[in-house]
């Protein structure tokens, strides 16, 4: 069955690549301009699923999406790790024209995080000015449309193929070990058939706590005493308060501990001001 799937950006963006890798190509993929649009439209069931980045191992958490997860009535049903490989894309030259070289470039366009992750490239080529775009694929589309040989984009090889650009330099990011973790969200609230699968899972929960010493330690201790690993702890300010926070934790557990994890989360409910279970989903693995 074909599904309606939303992602941020345009075709060729890393969010689009992650979405097609997770679901396969036989679905309807739609790029939206902002993360907020994904959440609101998935919540209204205008899309079956949304694919959102939640953290990068170099740039850190996408804090906006943590806030949106807490604010919107959606469920996390999966995760996916997308390798991020930044390439330098330029317009194709006719056969009788000389190949574009680095010395010809004056501007390189991309998303601000992509530009940050290619700092060494800009240090080696100080004559090139970085230019900020909303999305890596949008930058590639701009270069293809403008057709200027002094302007390049930093984007994926898929973006190069989609917009008819040449790759002048491969993998120009500072660190080759660059991964983004994506979450799959939906408005359909249903229990996962966890007990049918003998594998590792995660549960993500968000909560607020009484503003007193030891309250976070108590919550973490519940899972530590059960010998469960917390693979992520994130905090976000509560809007309208002074130095009070929403906490998000990812708990790893085996499928046979599903009943246990639900009981432990129930214990947390009794010790928190507010708690939201984002979902139970299979743990993904980085495929190197």
- Catalytic machinery residues: 180, 182
75: how many CB neighbours lie within 10 A of its CB? 20
Helix (H, G, I), strand (E, B) or coil at 243: coil
Query: Do the Cβ atoms of 81 and 180 come closer than 8 Å?
Result: yes
Nearest to 73 by CA among 277, 252, 282, 257: 277
Token pair of 283, please?
């743990």
200: how many CB neighbours lie within 10 A of its CB? 15
- DSSP H/E element including 27: none
Query: Do the Cβ atoms of 260 and 54 come closer than 8 Å?
Result: no
Token pair of 263, please?
């009981």
The CA distance from 92 to 107, in Å, is 16
């Amino acid at each position: 069955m074909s599904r309606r799937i939303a992602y941020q950006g345009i075709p060729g963006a890393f969010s689009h690549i992650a979405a097609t890798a997770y679901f396969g190509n036989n679905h309807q993929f739609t790029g939206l301009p902002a993360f907020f649009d994904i959440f609101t439209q998935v919540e209204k069931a205008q899309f079956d699923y949304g694919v959102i980045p939640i953290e990068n191992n170099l740039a850190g958490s996408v804090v906006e999406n943590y806030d949106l997860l807490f604010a919107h009535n959606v469920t996390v049903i999966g995760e996916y790790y997308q390798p991020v490989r930044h390439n330098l894309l330029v317009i194709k030259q006719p056969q009788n024209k000389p190949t574009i070289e680095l010395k010809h470039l004056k501007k390189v366009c991309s998303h601000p995080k992509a530009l940050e992750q290619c700092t060494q490239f800009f240090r080696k080529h100080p004559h090139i000015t970085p230019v900020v775009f909303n999305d890596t694929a949008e930058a590639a589309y701009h270069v293809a449309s403008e057709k200027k040989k002094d302007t390049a984009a930093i984007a994926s090889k898929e973006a190069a193929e989609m917009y008819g650009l040449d790759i002048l330099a491969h993998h120009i990011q500072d660190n080759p070990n660059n991964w983004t973790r994506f979450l799959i969200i939906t408005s359909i609230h249903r229990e996962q058939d966890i007990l049918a699968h003998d594998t590792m899972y995660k549960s993500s929960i968000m909560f607020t706590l009484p503003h007193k010493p030891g309250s976070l330690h108590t919550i973490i201790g519940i899972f530590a005493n059960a010998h469960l690993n917390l693979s992520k702890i994130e905090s976000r300010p509560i809007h309208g308060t002074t130095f009070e926070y929403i906490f998000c934790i990812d708990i790893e557990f085996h499928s046979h501990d599903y009943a246990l994890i639900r009981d432990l989360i129930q214990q947390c409910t009794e010790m928190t001001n507010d708690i939201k279970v984002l979902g139970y989903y299979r743990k993904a693995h980085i495929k190197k």
